[in-house]
Amino acid sequence: MKNPFLAYLKEEKTEYITSTCSLNRAVLAKLPLYGVEDEIEGRCFKDVFCTQLVVDEIKANAPIYGVDLSGVEDYMLPRILDKALVSPDVKYNQLASRVANKFGDRLGLLLLTLKLGEKENRDARPEWTDEHWQYYNELETVIFVGGLASSMLGRRFKERIQNIFDMAGVKPYNIMLFDNGTYVGAMGCALKLMDDNTTSVVFDFGHTNTKRCVVTKGVSEIREFSALESEKSQFVDIVKDDEDPIVEALKLHKHIVKIIVETYKNQSKYFELSDKIIISIANYNAGGKLNSVHGGYAKLCELGEDYSKILAEDLSSYLHRKVKVKLVHDGTANALYFSEIEKAVCISLGTAFGVGFTDIDVK
């Protein structure tokens, strides 16, 4: 089964994922199963499931169950939800079950929509041809990663998804969960893109946080992995109409350079680091060229056509050694870790849906 979401870059002899793969713009024009939550019909996938919606649901329902969340920051709520699913405190447990069941059912409806590919939903996603829908129909495995897919919350989602497929009388996808998903993208990049017997700094620039780690790779396997403290992402908002896109792009670029230079210099005290810097980034890209339309990192296209070269030049100057930069779409980075699993899509559950395919051939 040829993957219609992948394209081939002849110059680098490598595959890359196109923006066509986005699940966020898919629409539930027709629900694949009625009687579960009919109110979400007509909405985009991104307006049905994301971290912010889960957070909003927790806050809206907490007073009903007498749960006091005052003083609790939003970013902590998904973690509290996960723990509350096994809490002996009835009010916390009931709140958690209500929220987890609701969004587990929604995930089930979204996956069932992809599996069935009914005409109304095909018409609402004009970028997809019959080949794209057929790919999801024949797909066997869905791998969930990200904070919302871990531990008890991920397990509850899996139960609800399987229940939705059972209600519809449709054979479900094989759902795989990955509990320690925080650095799965970095580990995927390290496994597939690092040279053997080297140590590299690997970065994951997302829309919420920037994750950093130092990886030592042996022969085709990770020998040592050290996670460093994450940095809060900055300057990744979409450029507003009254803002200068070049000015905003430079702010983001300088922030990226600062994080990489400081990390590289600090870790070079302890390791002999490779001159290859691998970066997972929340943007579609091919051969170092970012997508100029989607996401907060798109503004970097204002600085030039090949951002990987621009970044490498500045980093080389600050580090006083010539370095190479490899940019990888974050969804693809996640999928690289699961490359041995056939007929599978890797979906990250977070700020939005991230997508990667395990059959991609990245060099």
Residue labelled with tokens 């957070």: 55
Least Cα distance to 125 among 4, 48, 25 occurs for: 25
Where would I find the H helices in the chain?
Answer: 51-61, 77-84, 90-116, 119-123, 130-138, 151-168, 184-193, 245-267, 307-319, 330-336
Can you tell me the distance from the alpha carbon of 23 to that of 279, in angstroms, rounded to the nearest whole number?
A: 23
Query: The pTM is what?
Result: 0.92
Q: How far apart are the first and last CA of the chain?
A: 21
Residue 274 has pLDDT above 80, yes or no: yes
Edge-to-edge strands, sheet with 174-177: 174-177, 141-145, 344-349, 353-357
Name which of 17-31, 178-192, 254-268, 272-286 the model is least confident about: 178-192
pLDDT in tens, 326-350: 999 999 999 999 999 999 999 999 8
pLDDT in tens, 153-174: 999 999 999 999 999 999 999 9
pLDDT in tens, 276-314: 999 999 999 998 899 998 889 999 999 999 999 999 999
Can you tell me the distance from the alpha carbon of 136 to that of 36, in angstroms, rounded to the nearest whole number?
A: 22
Mean pLDDT computed over 30-53 = 96
pLDDT in tens, 111-123: 999 999 999 999 9
- Whole-number pLDDT of residue 152: 92
Confidence bin at 208 (pLDDT 50/70/90): confident
Task: Tell me the percentage of the chain whose pLDDT exceeds 70.
Answer: 100
- Whole-number pLDDT of residue 11: 82
In contact, 26 and 75? CB cutoff 8 Å: no
Mean pLDDT of the chain: 94
- Which of residues 116 and 8 earns the better pLDDT score? 116
Residue 207 has pLDDT above 90, yes or no: no
Q: Please report the domains of the chain, with CATH numbers, ordered by start residue.
A: 6-177 (no CATH), 184-339 (3.30.420.60)
- Whole-number pLDDT of residue 161: 98
Residue 180 has pLDDT above 80, yes or no: no
In contact, 79 and 154? CB cutoff 8 Å: no
Residue 146 has pLDDT above 90, yes or no: no
Confidence bin at 10 (pLDDT 50/70/90): confident
Least Cα distance to 307 among 285, 322, 323 occurs for: 285
- Whole-number pLDDT of residue 151: 85
Give the number of C-alpha atoms closer than 13 A to the C-alpha of residue 103, restricted to the C-beta side: 30
